[in-house]
A = this chain, B = another copy of it.
């Protein structure tokens, strides 16, 4: 039976069939031969998020590589819509973005869309999202982005440059098209319609700031793709390159692989600010298990890594392929119990978060240096 699923920039539900989604969205698979080309430019091995095809789909990434080969460097653009604490799922596109920055020596423009969730969530004020913006920026900086090459664009704070350019996009976008792409209706507010224009701007703003047309590469989770279907249609009409996109899959919610993590549902996610105790408790209590009902059955029949969230999370966070393979085999064979698997994940995340939280503290001192001069 075909699983029902839904992927929009504001809602992800059901078990996502990524092959089907690529067809629906009209994106291309990130093939081995494309990844081989990336590897040629990389300083070391391919990033594990590439190796594991967690980044799995793209638009015009081949073109970006062609241009790079010709000496025409690209800049990176990704973003965050503050609505709550950063959770581990948010980090995935940023981790690959950092890797791309390091390996391709690329400038990064990082949009903090403090207007987006304000428009879409009744209860959020702009003061809330402004406060969350700063919190979230710490998590981004903590990942180790190059201060000299990383520039935060905060939509309301940079509105002087942002609004003027967003207006140019808005003029070329009808309500009718926005309805078709996003499933919005007349009952939606005007901010919800206008917002996508703001999201499109950083894909060409650096070309304006630098006074020359520069290719743009946008790593993102695939739910954000609809924004760039619009942007890719309109931006060339403004005289700039059509941005290229790299899409990643969603880190499954702790409570099960049939939904995206939500910053507003605590039990579905691990936050970057969670203490080791909280991480342990959440994983032990909520992490959906692919194990059997009894130890005996598990030993006999083995677990199911395909639906086990702890195992799935390890594919997103355990860099070592061999270690991951061993875990997979041990769990599948029944040699490893769910409790043991969870323990591995707890150790991994605790270690990751300890360092992240240390870097996050340090980030407070340099935060302002990362903000684009306006």
A175 near B157: Cβ-Cβ < 8 Å: no
Set of chain B residues within 8 Å of A158, measured between Cβ atoms: 160
B164 near A162: Cβ-Cβ < 8 Å: no
Q: How far is the CB of A1 from chain B (nearest CB, A)?
A: 36
Set of chain B residues within 8 Å of A170, measured between Cβ atoms: 119, 189-191, 194
Q: How many residues of A are in contact with the other chain, CB < 8 A? A: 36
Set of chain B residues within 8 Å of A155, measured between Cβ atoms: 163
Q: Which of A184, A185, A188, A190 has the most CB of B within 10 A?
A: A190
Is A187 among interface residues, defined by CB-CB distance under 8 A? yes
B159 near A175: Cβ-Cβ < 8 Å: no
Pick the contact of A162 from B163, B184, B187 — CB < 8 Å?
B163
Is A186 among interface residues, defined by CB-CB distance under 8 A? yes
Q: How far is the CB of A227 from chain B (nearest CB, A)?
A: 13
Is A134 among interface residues, defined by CB-CB distance under 8 A? no
Pick the contact of A186 from B160, B162, B168, B176 — CB < 8 Å?
B176
Set of chain B residues within 8 Å of A373, measured between Cβ atoms: none
Number of copies: 2
Set of chain B residues within 8 Å of A131, measured between Cβ atoms: none
Is A281 among interface residues, defined by CB-CB distance under 8 A? no
Is A115 among interface residues, defined by CB-CB distance under 8 A? yes
Residue of B nearest to A157 (CB): B160
Q: How far is the CB of A279 from chain B (nearest CB, A)?
A: 35
Is A167 among interface residues, defined by CB-CB distance under 8 A? yes
Set of chain B residues within 8 Å of A162, measured between Cβ atoms: 159, 163
Residue of B nearest to A156 (CB): B164
A119 to B173 alpha-carbon distance, docked (Å): 11
Interface of A is mostly: helix
A197 near B187: Cβ-Cβ < 8 Å: no
A179 to B189 alpha-carbon distance, docked (Å): 12
Is A172 among interface residues, defined by CB-CB distance under 8 A? yes
Set of chain B residues within 8 Å of A264, measured between Cβ atoms: none
Q: How far is the CB of A168 from chain B (nearest CB, A)?
A: 7
Set of chain B residues within 8 Å of A184, measured between Cβ atoms: 175
B190 near A175: Cβ-Cβ < 8 Å: yes
Set of chain B residues within 8 Å of A172, measured between Cβ atoms: 189
A167 to B155 alpha-carbon distance, docked (Å): 11
B190 near A126: Cβ-Cβ < 8 Å: no
Is A33 among interface residues, defined by CB-CB distance under 8 A? no
What 1/0 flags go to A45-80 for Cβ under 8 Å of B? 000000000000000000000000000000000000
Pick the contact of A171 from B156, B164, B191 — CB < 8 Å?
B191
A164 near B173: Cβ-Cβ < 8 Å: no
Residue of B nearest to A120 (CB): B171
A323 to B57 alpha-carbon distance, docked (Å): 79
Residue of B nearest to A168 (CB): B126
What 1/0 flags go to A136-176 for Cβ under 8 Å of B? 00000000000000000001111110111001101111111
Pick the contact of A164 from B159, B178, B197 — CB < 8 Å?
B159
A193 to B192 alpha-carbon distance, docked (Å): 11
Q: What 8 A-B pairs are tightest by C-beta distance, nearest first? A: A170-B191, A159-B163, A176-B186, A170-B190, A160-B160, A159-B159, A156-B164, A194-B194
Give residues in A with beta carbon < 8 Å to B.
115, 118-119, 126, 155-160, 162-164, 167-168, 170-176, 178-179, 184-191, 193-194, 197, 374
A-B contact pairs, 11 of them (CB 8 A): A118-B171, A158-B160, A170-B191, A170-B194, A174-B187, A175-B184, A175-B188, A179-B186, A190-B197, A191-B194, A193-B193
